[in-house]
Structure 1
């Protein structure tokens, strides 16, 4: 089996760490699927130039929803796929990938090559499609409240097993929907990959984080939920269930007295989760609170929302290190619980 590389989207040309991992595990002759894009030709033009600049020899696997009935069965396309050392699924709409590829000879061939050692990478929608079921849509607050743009799960490519994945994770505040996706899929582990960041998942050995931001790990056990944030160079050993923090980061010893009474009033806002967790592990406080609710400009409005409680457990650890490359802090196993609330706002008289 080959290595999977899950990129959270918005991969930048100067992200040498992530491109080096893709080149290492997928090889130079990489087949690029632009199937998810609303403009596959433009996506290919952009990605071809990007990958060539990083030392690749990219090949366009030009299957779309519109032409899949022909190209996904074409012997010439299958020969092209067979000639590739690895594959990359570009971003867009993950539903386009599965509509075009599920049940086709090209996907069967790709799965066989992956089983025989070819690397497969994806970014944004390309990452989402790796799971089965895959997250096809939904907003965190709507999903938690069961109304509006709620979680949608659909059949995915199934290259990721017993794991739920999400992308643009911190930038788009998606931990609420990932929790629900894990419950519905019946899995105990979920990963949320943030933008310009990758999780490298070899067949054997620990998974490793590369890139600018974080990969969040959500663990669902009989005792409750825990969340961790891993940064550049940090690893997770699936066999042992252990986090291995890069030696450039050391355990936080002295709490910051300025960090207390921690609360986010919009916990599903961009980077509110990482803001809260990194400050909690620097604080002497034992817990922090996050809120999210449907706002209104009207006086005296009452709305449904959620309250998230983050709390330190005996396993909680915070680590501090250099701010580059990647993030400065790492966070291991903060407990969390979520409950529905009603928020009411009235003017002071």
Structure 2
């Protein structure tokens, strides 16, 4: 324990010494940093499980930070083993050309007082003078605990992060590091199905995030792999959000200062639009949600709500008079891994009027007789694009209605006549 603490302290002192030498010469290499003080930087919101070899994401972080030798502050505040996680991320970023450094502000960092570290003026200046920051995954509540005082006010290091971001720096985060990007995040959530059944409560299932993306967008992660798009809706309705962005694993949403969002990586993201949605009292029941799927390379503007397909799909707009799928569309596990996107892709290229998915839980779970039906339909402005290079779709503006259904227990075995 003493050896770990001594090594962390020595690393900290080395970083502070480096900051005193480099601060005068550390004018951000990216052009945005030299603009007006009110200018904002960029966000790279990663859905978790970012692979070391996912070069497009790692390289975009570095590019937004100014390119080779950009100084990136690594926060492993969410991690159970911050020193190990921090070292991995520093090494990974440096392998792509950065000059990354570990920031010793973490609840679980052995031998360190994270309260004192988060308010250390020299450490705050080190973060402020960086070109970017990267937040590791883990437990997002550890990030907010480390960077905010108990009364909710900002620590010096958090203020420094905001200064760096407003100056034009990039803030990236994976998993828990993505959850903190909105002003509301999941704190101690239940399972997705239990969230639909029981709802969310402020200070428990949902809590305050850091809000880098602004107060008007809700963000969630591990989205398609874990079916989390469904849990976004109760949280958004509870807090009055009209727009939600959910990103899948090994994939990133790059949010630029003009609020353009570009998806890069392995899979994609969902856009949930509740501007015209309506919900009923009682068991979760919502209608007229607009849902869109952004594939790799697609863009969406938060301000204008304009969608732009990737280059390989630009000439691939689907013709409704020439559908590919011609049979009923149904899934018995809408919360399964990527099931929602598979069903949406088939509907947008189908002669069917709707696609239906259901979800139900264990007979031993909470409210076992309650399930939910997810009904997707095409609207007048629904449109799809297919890639000429891969078996991939972009789907914009499908309608989604969710209603509770009764599951009759026990489930009897079908008998052949």
TM-score (norm 1): 0.93
Structure 1 position 323, deviation (Å): 5.2
Tell me, in whole angstroms, the C-alpha distance in 2 between the residues paired with 1:292 and 1:149.
22
Match of 2:44 in 1: 5
Tell me, in whole angstroms, the C-alpha distance in 1 between the residues paired with 2:205 and 2:289.
22
Match of 1:117 in 2: 168
Work out whether residues 142 and 149 of structure 1, in 8 Å CA contact, stay in contact via their aligned partners in 2: no
SS of the equivalent of 1:203 reads: coil
Within the alignment, does 1:153 sit opposite 2:206 as a pair?
Answer: yes
Number of positions where the alignment pairs a residue of Structure 1 with one of Structure 2: 343
Match of 2:20 in 1: none
Within the alignment, does 1:191 sit opposite 2:249 as a pair?
Answer: no
Work out whether residues 142 and 148 of structure 1, in 8 Å CA contact, stay in contact via their aligned partners in 2: no
Match of 1:343 in 2: 407
2:397 to 326, 333, 338: 333
Match of 2:328 in 1: 261
Structure 1 position 222, deviation (Å): 2.2
Tell me, in whole angstroms, the C-alpha distance in 1 between the residues paired with 2:238 and 2:389.
37
Match of 1:52 in 2: 94
Tell me, in whole angstroms, the C-alpha distance in 2 between the residues paired with 1:264 and 1:167.
23
Tell me, in whole angstroms, the C-alpha distance in 2 between the residues paired with 1:61 and 1:193.
26
Structure 1 position 61, deviation (Å): 0.8
1:43 to 63, 85, 93: 85
- Equivalences for 1:286-297 in 2 at 5 Å? 286-296=353-363
Gaps in structure 2 of 5+ consecutive residues:
1-39, 149-153, 278-287
Within the alignment, does 1:76 sit opposite 2:122 as a pair?
Answer: yes
Compute the RMSD of aligned alpha carbons: 2.1
Once the two structures are superposed, residues 308-345 of structure 1 have per-residue CA deviations (whole angstroms, 9 ceiling, x without a partner) of 10111111111110455xx7211111100111111122
Within the alignment, does 1:25 sit opposite 2:64 as a pair?
Answer: yes
TM-score (norm 2): 0.78
Gaps in structure 1 of 5+ consecutive residues:
none
Tell me, in whole angstroms, the C-alpha distance in 1 between the residues paired with 2:199 and 2:237.
17
SS of the equivalent of 2:99 reads: coil
Tell me, in whole angstroms, the C-alpha distance in 2 between the residues paired with 1:144 and 1:119.
34
When structure 1 is superposed on structure 2, of 199-208 and 177-186 the one drifting more is 199-208
2:192 to 119, 122, 140: 140
Tell me, in whole angstroms, the C-alpha distance in 2 between the residues paired with 1:233 and 1:310.
24
